[in-house]
Structure formats: structure tokens, C-alpha cells
Chain A
């Protein structure tokens, strides 16, 4: 596979960057780190392009690994109640901030591997096979990790239903 022209590559970056940054954000809880990790991953992908069958899967895997590395380096960091550099939504700022805060806190309670499974599977709505490809494991492992993670999150206070209601925005809707 030939390396794409810079215009093709730009199109790839622009069309794929949002879910990648979201993936990294939910993994790290920090928007700045998320953009940093994704930019690194995309640059590496371009360099490796000619030998890459599925660049999107490849870049997702680099992002997950980048998040793991970042997590290892910063594991002593304390997660703030309000992440200082999370983006503000144009409307419903308060509600969005509450939801972000709650989900970041809940995800932070998971081991990195389980967190990656939950983010890919439920926040980004990826099929189990793609999750497995991104994590370099089997579909069975994805299922078992997802099950363990959900069991842990079930009792997490940040996700505890207030009057048994989820945040506005639809219970059945996709993440993005």
C-alpha cells in the first residue's frame, strides 16, 4: 500500500480524529492529554502507512497503547472533581459537565484494560471484534473484561441513578 498524499492523509485525520480523541479522553480524563496522544498516534500511522492494512484499527491501537503509557507515567496523579481542561459544550454546559465528570470518575476506578474495553465498546460503540483488534486480545477476553468492568461500575456512586434516571440525552442512544 502506498503512502497517501498529504491531502488524502489530511482527510483521513480530519474524519477520524474525533472518535480517536474521544477514546483518549475517556481513557485519560484529560482533553489536553487526549489530543496529544492522538496527534502522536496519527503521525506514527502516517510513517507506517505503507505497511498498514487497516490504518484506522492501527491508529486506534496506538492510541490505546499511548493512553496506557500515559496512565503508567501519571498513575499517581489525582483526578480532580472537575477536570480543568475539559472542553465546554456550547449548550447544556452544566449538564454536560456533570455527565463528563461522573463518567470520568467512574472510568478512573477501572484498571486500564477494562477501561479501554468499556470506552471502545460502550462509549464509542465499537463491535467486539474491533475492540479485540484495538487491544490485541481475543473477543472472548473482551467479553469477560467487559463483564467484570460492568460489574464494578454497577455499584459506582458516580453512575448511581438519581431517582433511577440517566442524564438527559437518551438512554438508548449511541455514544457519539
Chain B
């Protein structure tokens, strides 16, 4: 086939393809006119020599001010530094701040719509967090948590409980209401490596909470669906203080692009002078003699023996029923802080056991895969045969075990779905 033949064949194929002769593009063009005008206007502005010089100078100043004259940091580095600050306060100087968290609809009654949190942070093991929580029902609740060295005091509804601070529960951010509610873990865990790493993009943000030049870290939508927090699988933007990498503002979107959660720091002061006694937990009120750990006959007796209101399942799937209740060691304010409930199946065989303790207790956090228990609450299913499901809820560490042996009880297995159903009914 000669070149001329090839050309003729191309013409013939193009004609035979019979493309539509009158595509309707007018509406689309009309819709884009404004955008094109704006784009052109922007280009015109940017092409102005004086402005270009000004922008270059400003950029230099920002780089010098923000990065101390060193090379600008990459978005990934900034993200990891921000994560480290949230995890354990790495490099964070003493600070006092107030932040407001709002949650979009669709999370159900178990997630507060609004949380105002005031934080006094002196060091990783000296901080105070006062949270005012507004529930969807309109009810408000105030909880104060004080970390003083090796102890964490939780003051809620007039009662104080003190427990040892260790492990994950001792971190200021993990313990804070904001930390537990804002699904940061989902955002930060997405910053790992591999194919699921979302896109990261760093730009200069505007002034926020008295910080002149912030960094805006744009995190793309999750590339792998997140089991841990599917509500915030969409893109997220975090505004950071460029000196401390503290998050000053956050906008997290859902997979459909809707705004799911926001956080904004409304007041911020570094290196403040803290009032005397800020980090001193109140002395617990005098109470009757401590209850001795051991078997408890009823749930009512359990509630009475504990230093806090226990979270219990509101319904038991698969014909399960309560067989045994026991409190464990761990006196706080003269009362007990840890307990177990063993559930049996209709045949009377033990199949599951609940263990509950304050969130700051040194309870083992088993590694495993995330499991959504209900919107806003994600648990971890241990990887060892998938027998232990643990999660944090309303200041408690809860775990449900099926199969294996625990506290001397041999458990038969129930399906993970029933375990999750059980967990989902906790209130």
C-alpha cells in the first residue's frame, strides 16, 4: 500500500465513522466563559513585572522566615512532623490553645456535633485538657483530663478518677476529645508509604490564630478505601504552624466531597505562664472503704462498685447472656476501675468476655486490622486468629474476646460479625 493509498484509506475510515455533525457544545462553552475570564485576568496580573518582583521577594522572605533560610521542606516531611507532634508532642513548646471541632451530619447520636477544647500543654507528661462536648441531642458535657507525671486524672460529672498513665492513652492528643473524635489517625495513617499513599501538596496558608504564615498541607483523597474512618476518605487540608507543626485548622472531607469534620484553633499562645495548680489533679472526695476486687452479683452492683459509669451492650446477639461479672484490681478514688463480664451462649458455654478500663489504663493494645464498629468508632481486631476486638469509646478502653482462654475461662468462638454487633450496641 503506497502513501497515497494509506491517505485514501484514512479518509475513507474517517468518513465511514460518521461522527455526529452537530455536537452541542454551546452550554458547556457558556459555563466556562467566567472561568476563562478569571484565568486570563490572573495571567495578566501575574505577568506584571513589578508584581512578579514583589512576589519573588515575598516568597524569599517567607522561605527565610518560615524555614530559617534552609531548603524548603517537602510536603511529606511536614506531614510526618505534624504527625509526630500529635502523637507525642515532639518539639512542641509549652502552649495554651482553644480549639473547636465540628462534625457533619451522618455520624449518628454517638458522635458529638461540636467540641470546644481548651488545652494547657507544658510537656508530654504535664498537660490539662478541658472539653465541652455538645451531643446531637443538645446535651452538653464537660470533661477535664489532667496528666501529671505518671498519673492521669479524669474529672467528669463531679467525680474524679485517677489512673496510671502509660502507653497510647498517655499521649495528650490521643487522650483529648479532639484526638479521639477527629479521625486524625485515619489521616495520619494514610501518610505511610506504598500504593495507598495519598497525594500531598504543600502551599502557603494565610494567617491563623495569630500565626502570620501558615503552611497548608493538602492531602488527596484516600487511594485505598479506609476501613478505619470511611467518613473522611475524601481530601483533607491541614493548616500548620510552620515553626511547631501544630495543626491550627483542619478540614476533612468525605468520599463524596462533603465536609465531614472541621477543627479550628481560636486562641493560641506559646510559652504561657500557667496558673499554679493547673496540672494538679483534685483530691478525690472521701469515699467508703474500697471495694475489693472479685465477683459481683449483678450489673447494678457493678455500677456501684466502679469509679465510672460502665459502657455495656444494650442488646446481646445470638442468644448470649451474662454469666459472670468480676471487678479487677485498680482502685481509683476508693472505687474499682476495671472489670470483666463473661457471656455464655444458649447452651451455657462461655463464648465471649468483655474487659473494660479507663482509656488511660495500661491495657494491652493488640495490633490488628481496623474494623468499623459504628460510624465514628473503629476497633482493632487482633491478628492472632481474630479473637480480640478492642476500641476506645467515651474515655474507656473496651475489649471483647472470643475463643482462647482469658482470666482462667476457656471461651468457645463466635463469629466476628456477632462480636462486632455486640460492640456496636455499647452505650
Contacts and interface: CB of A to CB of B under 8 A. Distances in A.
Interface of A: 10, 13-14, 17-18, 21-22, 25-26, 35-36, 38-40, 42-44, 46-48, 87, 89, 92, 95-96, 98-100, 102-103, 106, 118, 122-123, 125, 147, 150-151, 153-154, 159, 161, 166-176
Nearest to B23: A21
B9 A151 contact: no
A86 to B, nearest CB: 8
Nearest to A160: B1
B23 A17 contact: yes
A123 B14 contact: yes
A42 B7 CA distance: 29
Contacts of B25: 13, 17, 21, 35, 38-39, 42
Given A87-B20, A173-B15, A176-B19, A47 B6 contact: no
A125 B10 CA distance: 11
Given A103-B10, A166-B8, A89 B26 contact: no
Contacts of B14: 26, 99, 103, 122-123, 175-176
Given A147-B3, A166-B8, A159 B13 contact: yes
A25 B19 contact: yes
B275 interface: no
Interface stretch (B28-36, B51-59, B174-182): B28-36
7 contacts: A43-B33, A87-B19, A99-B14, A99-B17, A154-B3, A161-B9, A170-B15
Interface residues of B, number: 34
Interface of B: 1-3, 5-23, 25-26, 28-29, 31-33, 35-37, 39-40
A43 B35 contact: yes
B23 A13 contact: no
Return the 5 tightest CB-CB contacts between A and B, nearest first: A99-B16, A39-B28, A167-B16, A43-B32, A166-B12
A46 B25 CA distance: 14
Contacts of A25: 19
Contacts of A167: 12-13, 16
A103 B22 contact: no
Contacts of B39: 44, 47
The majority secondary structure among interface residues of chain A is helix
B94 to A, nearest CB: 48
B13 A99 contact: yes
Contacts, number: 137
Contact of B8 (A36, A47, A103, A172): A172
Nearest to A152: B6
Given A13-B25, A46-B33, A154-B3, A96 B16 contact: yes
Given A48-B40, A123-B11, A154-B1, A159 B16 contact: no
Given A13-B29, A99-B13, 4 more contacts: A118-B10, A169-B15, A172-B8, A175-B15
Contacts of A18: 20-23
Nearest to B3: A150
A171 B6 contact: no
A15 to B, nearest CB: 10
Which of A36, A95, A159, A172 neighbours the largest number of chain B CB atoms within 10 Å of its CB? A159
B20 to A, nearest CB: 5
A92 B16 CA distance: 9
Nearest to A147: B3
Contact of A92 (B8, B18, B23, B28): B18
Contacts of A43: 29, 32-33, 35-36
Contacts of A96: 16-18
Contact of A150 (B6, B21, B35): B6
A176 B19 CA distance: 8
Given A10-B26, A103-B10, A47 B40 contact: yes
A154 to B, nearest CB: 5
B199 to A, nearest CB: 14
A161 B36 contact: no
B16 A122 contact: no
Given A13-B29, A159-B6, A89 B18 contact: yes
B36 to A, nearest CB: 4
Contacts of A175: 11, 14-15
A44 B13 CA distance: 31
Given A39-B28, A46-B33, A161-B1, A170 B21 contact: no
